[in-house]
Amino acid sequence: MDFSESVEVLNDQEQRDKWDWELSKGLIDLADILMQKNPDLTREEADEILAEKKAPVAIGEEAPIANPLLSALTKPVE
């Protein structure tokens, strides 16, 4: 007989609570969470994504706006 490992099935809130607990205990970091959400990511790719999100905006340069509607509303009229 071939018995596979059991898989823990959590709803979204339970998963977030588990990640919060593991983060608070130092068992995982944000890169680990990214890799759990996207198993195709390597540690290096996850670290790069986090670095991009934390990258400071240079003086005189505006932060990118992720929401296209907000971008359109804040763009000066020509």
- Domain-by-domain residue ranges, the chain? 12-58
pLDDT at position 19: 93
pLDDT at position 54: 84
How do the pLDDT tens digits run along the chain, 78 residues long?
677 778 888 999 999 999 999 999 999 999 999 999 999 999 999 999 998 888 765 666 565 556 677 667 767 766
Q: What is the DSSP string of 50-61?
A: HHHHHPPPPTT-
pLDDT at position 13: 93
For the chain, what is the radius of gyration of the CA atoms?
19
pLDDT at position 23: 93
pLDDT at position 75: 72
